[in-house]
């Protein structure tokens, strides 16, 4: 990797060593991937005569007119805020290996640029936790002594060197209390079990039983598998959505399977076989099991929770 | 036994022989240990702990008990696979991840009779030498997890669990471990991975036979809820007596779960092989719904191959071979295997003539596409392809060639995956196409064939040449 070199303030650059091509060809500075600075659009402010080739001292502090910079991040184009001015003095240049090639091999230290988006952690990048209307029903995640005690009890169920086994029980505790698994709770579980957060995340993202966004106060899971479908579970789902004004069109069937009503009171989800095929159609409302819930009984089912 | 009264409307059918379900829907029954003890509970635990562990295993071997989870592997033989020179701790796991569509037997055991399961587990753990046991219960049974934990605490208080059980010197702790709604956790090695806190990707066998390298790479016995409960009754009756129930090689009782298009769906505990489809569907379930006729039956959970109600099968070998119509088939492991399907987990799903096969197929392919764990490519991709093709057939957008494509995909999954999920997802599709090809093809049309401009021009040119 490149070493970081601070360019001293009054430094002069020997132009004769620079591989500038005067006129015609564009001068492109390679800024570390994926950002790119289009040099053509840089506006250098020199105090001296810029016509002379070789031996020009670039006066410090030079200023870059940021309003003309075009930064490209991946496929996005960001135009830096207009009145911003970058003070060259505060920039840190990184050389590619010993020799400084300014300006060609110059790198801009991204951390010092204010307008760059904050680097997300791997957990934040991969957890799909959009805010839903159901959020109001659950407290924000916090580690209470009670939760900590329950977690320790669960961990004690497994051999001392196998505490990773407690991932599922701990996540169940979190989901039961806080409604869904948030990035902070993943970090907490990982810390508690002394494993990498990714090992918790891979579990959360695999099991359909773990939610990554807040459901409604009453979360209805309707069985959609064969016997229940024959008994009318699709009709039940339609009816539930009609009563609660839930729009299921945004679900993608695999990753995002929960739809929350605008009021935040209800949410619905199709579940696979709930193992009560003889009393189809069946559904779970939070932890309560209901059998023989035909379309006609949908209203009564919901009323029994809200009244 | 005869003085047992059941709740009104829930009385067992005369053809039933209730062992495991003796206390299900029983009048005045609850899940407390007092009720169970009053009924003579935990007596077999005392008897079992008084025997040599090997003698218990011998009894189970003699009984011929076959696993009730789906594969039908003999339980006693499974127990015998623990390496004799083993020095690691042995684990017993109760597989309560009942998730095969059409099966709902374990639900009633864990909700209504948890102590029977615990008693069975203590005896089994004693036989295999396990001092730690886990009940892996599916996430969709939240009440059952609470019921079981309460029952475990009760049993511990009474000295049927914990240290030095009933003065025998045998220690056992049982813990409840909740799953998280993944079908693949019903596969024993997937279940073990899940219990270890990982994604439940099944392990390849060999070498990872759980009896040798299971939970934490130690010998592990994984048994279904129903199988473990049977152990209690085997000890009570004695292996020799138990084997007389049912038919040879298919001993004991099993719970058949009937769902779908019958008048009275429900659960029936019968002697294995003593009930035919005719008796089950007409006598016990009250026949088809009014004005309907039976069309097809999925005999052992959605993974088993579908059978048409107007088929007949050649059962047996050599001189014993006989032709049996579908209605005369007894529901045992071997007969259903000979008929090209399987007894599986005992989930019988009945379809009547109002059901379109394309719709049924579509529902099943959606299930398997959702539940494939994604470890092996043929299954991960294939199950999704099957879903897409069956979506086309159901949506009326398929061509006749799509049915063939679907069949090809299924045969390319079958046998090419780490675990049996590959077969489980492919078999229903293979069988449905095999038995209802005409119906599926009739739902398609040549007009749906997508033709590029190039192909159209080519066909036009060729037809002109032929003229």
CB contact under 8 A, A273 and B101: yes
CB contact under 8 A, A272 and B183: yes
CB contact under 8 A, A274 and B261: no
Nearest CB to B367: which of A225, A230, A280? A225
Asked if the model's pLDDT at residue B436 lies above 60, the reply is yes
Radius of gyration of chain B, Cα coordinates, nearest whole angstrom? 24
Residue A90's pLDDT is 46
Mutate to test the interface with B, among A204, A272, A286 (most CBs of B within 10 A): A272
Lowest-pLDDT range, A20-34, B7-21, B105-119, B200-214? A20-34
Interface of B with A in 184-213 (CB under 8 A): 194-200
Lowest-pLDDT range, A78-82, A104-108, A139-143, B134-138? A78-82
- List chain B residues with CB under 8 Å of A169: 177-178
CB contact under 8 A, B367 and A272: yes
List domains and CATH numbers for chain A: 1-119 (no CATH), 123-206 (1.10.10), 218-306 (3.40.30.10)
- Dihedral angle, C-alpha A191, A194, A196, A199, nearest 10 °: -100
- Confidence tier at A252 by pLDDT (50, 70, 90): confident
CA–CA separation, B294 and B258 (whole Å): 13
CA–CA separation, A67 and A84 (whole Å): 7
Instruction: Measure Cα distances from B235 to A257, B80, B135 in Å.
Output: 47, 18, 21
CB contact under 8 A, B198 and A277: no
Q: By CA distance, what is A227's nearest residue in B?
A: B260
Tens digit of each residue's pLDDT (9 = 90 or more) over B57-115: 999 999 999 999 888 899 999 999 999 999 999 999 999 998 899 999 999 999 999 99
| Residues A131 and A180 sit within 8 Å (Cβ to Cβ) | no
Count, in order, helices (H) and strands (E) of chain B: 17, 13
Q: Which residues pair with A5 in a beta bridge?
A: A93
What backbone phi and psi angles, to 5 degrees, belong to B202? -60, 150
Q: By CA distance, what is B139's nearest residue in A?
A: A209
Domain boundaries, chain B: 31-244, 256-352, 357-447
Contact with chain B for residue A291, Cβ under 8 A: no
Look at residues B392, B393, B339, B390 and name the one whose alpha carbon lies nearest to residue B368.
Answer: B390
Asked if the model's pLDDT at residue A55 lies above 50, the reply is no
Asked if the model's pLDDT at residue A30 lies above 80, the reply is no
Give the 3-state secondary structure of residue A200. helix
| Residues B431 and B407 sit within 8 Å (Cβ to Cβ) | no
Look at residues B100, B25, B111, B22 and name the one whose alpha carbon lies nearest to residue B68.
Answer: B100
| Residues B141 and B180 sit within 8 Å (Cβ to Cβ) | no
Residue B385 or residue A49, greater confidence: B385
How close B142 gets to chain A, by Cα (Å)? 6
CATH class assigned to B31-244: alpha beta
Asked if the model's pLDDT at residue A112 lies above 90, the reply is no
Residue A254's pLDDT is 76
Interface of B with A in 279-318 (CB under 8 A): 298, 302
Give the 3-state secondary structure of residue A146. helix
Give me A68's structure tokens.
């003309």
| Residues A223 and B370 sit within 8 Å (Cβ to Cβ) | no
- List chain B residues with CB under 8 Å of A172: 139, 178, 180
Side-chain-side CA neighbours of A88 within 13 Å: the count stands at 21
Percent of chain A whose predicted confidence (pLDDT) is above 90: 52
Give me A24's structure tokens.
């015609």
Tens digit of each residue's pLDDT (9 = 90 or more) over B407-429: 999 999 999 999 999 999 999 99
- List chain A residues with CB under 8 Å of B178: 168-169, 172
Looking up tokens 């078999």 gives: B427
Contacts 24+ apart (CB under 8 A), B356-359: B356/B439, B356/B443, B357/B296, B357/B432, B357/B436, B357/B439, B357/B440, B358/B390, B358/B393, B358/B394, B358/B439, B358/B440, B358/B443, B359/B394
What mean pLDDT is predicted for residues B203-213?
93
Asked if the model's pLDDT at residue A151 lies above 90, the reply is yes
How close B125 gets to chain A, by Cα (Å)? 17
Contact with chain A for residue B161, Cβ under 8 A: no
CATH class assigned to B256-352: alpha beta
Instruction: Measure Cα distances from B313 to B162, B289, B306, B328, B357 in Å.
Output: 52, 26, 13, 10, 22
Interface of B with A in 249-278 (CB under 8 A): 257-261, 265-267
Residue A9's pLDDT is 44
| Residues B404 and B444 sit within 8 Å (Cβ to Cβ) | no
Q: By CA distance, what is B197's nearest residue in A?
A: A165
Nearest CB to B182: which of A158, A199, A207? A207
Looking up tokens 């379930």 gives: B285
- Confidence tier at A108 by pLDDT (50, 70, 90): low
CA–CA separation, B308 and B350 (whole Å): 10
Contact with chain B for residue A233, Cβ under 8 A: no
Give me B25's structure tokens.
């829907």
Interface of A with B in 210-229 (CB under 8 A): 210, 221, 224-227, 229
Contact with chain B for residue A21, Cβ under 8 A: no
CA–CA separation, B441 and B43 (whole Å): 59
Residue A27's pLDDT is 42
pTM reported for the whole predicted model: 0.82
| Residues B259 and A280 sit within 8 Å (Cβ to Cβ) | yes
Tens digit of each residue's pLDDT (9 = 90 or more) over A56-95: 333 443 455 555 555 444 444 444 443 344 545 444 443 3
CA–CA separation, B368 and A124 (whole Å): 30
Give me B116's structure tokens.
């029977």
Instruction: Measure Cα distances from A54 to A16, A18, A19, A211 in Å.
Output: 5, 9, 11, 64
- Confidence tier at B454 by pLDDT (50, 70, 90): confident
- DSSP letter assigned to residue B11: P
Burial B45-68 (b: 16+ CB within 10 A, else e): beebbebebeebbbbbbbbbbbbb
Lowest-pLDDT range, A54-58, A154-158, A297-301, B100-104? A54-58
How close B368 gets to chain A, by Cα (Å)? 10
Lowest-pLDDT range, A23-37, A110-124, A260-274, B66-80? A23-37
Give the 3-state secondary structure of residue A221. strand
Asked if the model's pLDDT at residue B362 lies above 80, the reply is yes
Contact with chain B for residue A96, Cβ under 8 A: no
Asked if the model's pLDDT at residue A289 lies above 80, the reply is yes
Interface of A with B in 158-187 (CB under 8 A): 158-159, 162, 164-169, 171-172
Nearest CB to B140: which of A172, A226, A284? A284
Looking up tokens 């070498």 gives: B207
How many residues can be counted in chain A?
307
What mean pLDDT is predicted for residues B305-329?
90
Give yes or no on whether B31-244 and B256-352 have one common fold: no
- List chain B residues with CB under 8 Å of A206: 182, 199-200, 373
- List chain A residues with CB under 8 Å of B298: 226
CA–CA separation, B109 and A193 (whole Å): 33
Determine whether domain B357-447 maps to CATH 1.20.1440.230: yes
Contact with chain A for residue B226, Cβ under 8 A: no
Count, in order, helices (H) and strands (E) of chain A: 8, 11
Residue A218's pLDDT is 95
């Amino acid at each position: 990797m490149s070493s970081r070199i601070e360019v001293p303030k009054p430094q002069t650059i020997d132009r004769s060593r620079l591989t500038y091509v005067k006129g015609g060809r564009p001068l492109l500075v390679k800024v570390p991937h994926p950002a790119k600075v289009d040099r053509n659009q840089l506006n250098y402010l020199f105090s001296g005569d810029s016509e002379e080739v070789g031996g020009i001292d670039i006066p410090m502090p030079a200023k870059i007119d940021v309003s003309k910079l075009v930064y490209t991040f991946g496929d996005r184009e960001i135009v830096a805020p207009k009145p911003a001015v970058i003070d060259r003095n505060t920039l840190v240049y990184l050389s590619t290996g010993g020799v400084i090639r300014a300006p060609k091999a110059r790198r801009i230290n991204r951390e010092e640029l204010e307008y760059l988006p904050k680097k997300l952690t791997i957990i934040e990048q991969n957890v799909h936790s959009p805010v839903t209307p159901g959020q109001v029903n659950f407290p924000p995640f916090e580690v209470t002594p009670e939760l900590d005690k329950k977690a320790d009890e669960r961990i004690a169920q497994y051999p001392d060197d196998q505490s990773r086994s407690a991932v599922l029980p701990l996540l169940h505790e979190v989901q039961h209390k806080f409604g869904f698994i948030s990035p902070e709770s993943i970090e907490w579980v990982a810390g508690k079990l002394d494993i990498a957060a990714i090992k918790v995340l891979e579990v959360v993202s695999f099991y359909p039983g773990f939610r990554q966004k807040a459901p409604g106060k009453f979360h209805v899971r309707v069985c959609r598998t064969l016997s229940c479908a024959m008994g009318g579970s699709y009709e039940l789902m339609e009816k539930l959505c009609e009563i609660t004004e839930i729009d299921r069109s945004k679900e993608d069937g695999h990753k995002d399977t929960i739809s929350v009503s605008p009021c935040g009171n209800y949410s619905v989800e199709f579940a696979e076989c709930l193992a009560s095929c003889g009393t189809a159609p069946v559904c779970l409302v939070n932890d309560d099991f209901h059998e023989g819930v035909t379309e006609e009984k949908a209203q009564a089912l919901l009323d029994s929770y809200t009244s | 036994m005869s003085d047992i009264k059941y709740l009104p409307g829930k009385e067992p059918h005369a053809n039933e022989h209730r062992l495991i379900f003796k206390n299900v829907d029983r009048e005045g029954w609850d899940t407390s240990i007092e009720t169970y003890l009053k009924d003579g509970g935990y007596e077999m635990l005392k008897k079992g702990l008084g025997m040599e562990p090997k003698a218990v295993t011998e009894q189970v071997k003699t009984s011929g008990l076959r696993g009730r989870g789906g594969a039908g592997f003999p339980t006693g033989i499974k127990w015998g696979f623990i390496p004799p020179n083993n020095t690691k701790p042995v684990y017993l796991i109760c597989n309560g991840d009942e998730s095969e569509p059409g099966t709902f037997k374990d639900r009633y055991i864990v909700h209504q009779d948890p102590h029977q399961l615990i008693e069975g587990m203590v005896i089994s753990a004693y036989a295999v030498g396990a001092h730690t046991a886990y009940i892996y219960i599916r996430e969709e049974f939240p009440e059952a997890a609470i019921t079981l934990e309460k029952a475990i605490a009760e049993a511990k208080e009474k000295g049927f669990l914990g240290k030095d059980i009933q003065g025998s010197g045998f220690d056992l702790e049982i813990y409840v471990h909740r799953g998280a709604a993944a079908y693949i956790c019903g596969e024993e090695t997937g279940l073990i991975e899940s219990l270890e806190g990982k994604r439940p990707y099944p392990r390849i066998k060999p070498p990872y036979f759980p009896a040798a390298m299971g939970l934490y790479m130690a010998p592990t016995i994984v048994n279904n809820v129903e199988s473990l409960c049977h152990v209690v009754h085997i000890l009570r009756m004695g292996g020799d007596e138990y084997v007389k129930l049912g038919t040879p090689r298919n001993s004991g009782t099993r719970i058949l779960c009937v769902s779908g298009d019958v008048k009275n769906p429900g659960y029936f505990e019968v002697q294995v092989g003593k009930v035919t489809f005719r008796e089950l569907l007409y006598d016990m379930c009250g026949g088809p719904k009014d004005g309907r006729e039976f069309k097809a039956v999925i005999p052992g959970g959605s993974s088993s191959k579908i059978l048409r109600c107007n088929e007949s099968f050649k059962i047996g070998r050599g001189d014993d071979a006989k032709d049996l119509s579908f209605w005369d088939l007894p529901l045992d492991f071997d007969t259903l295997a000979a008929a090209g399907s399987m007894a599986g987990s005992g989930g019988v799903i009945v379809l009547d003539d109002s059901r379109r096969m394309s719709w049924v197929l579509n529902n099943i392919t959606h299930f398997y596409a959702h539940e494939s764990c994604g470890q092996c490519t043929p299954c991960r991709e294939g199950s999704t392809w099957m879903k897409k093709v069956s979506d086309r057939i159901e949506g009326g957008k398929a061509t006749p060639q799509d049915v063939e494509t679907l069949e090809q995909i299924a045969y390319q999954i079958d046998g090419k995956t780490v675990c049996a999920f590959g077969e489980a997802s492919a078999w229903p599709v293979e069988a449905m196409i095999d038995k209802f090809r005409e119906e599926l093809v009739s739902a398609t049309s040549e007009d749906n064939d997508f033709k590029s401009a190039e192909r159209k021009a080519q066909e036009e040119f060729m037809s002109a040449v032929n003229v």
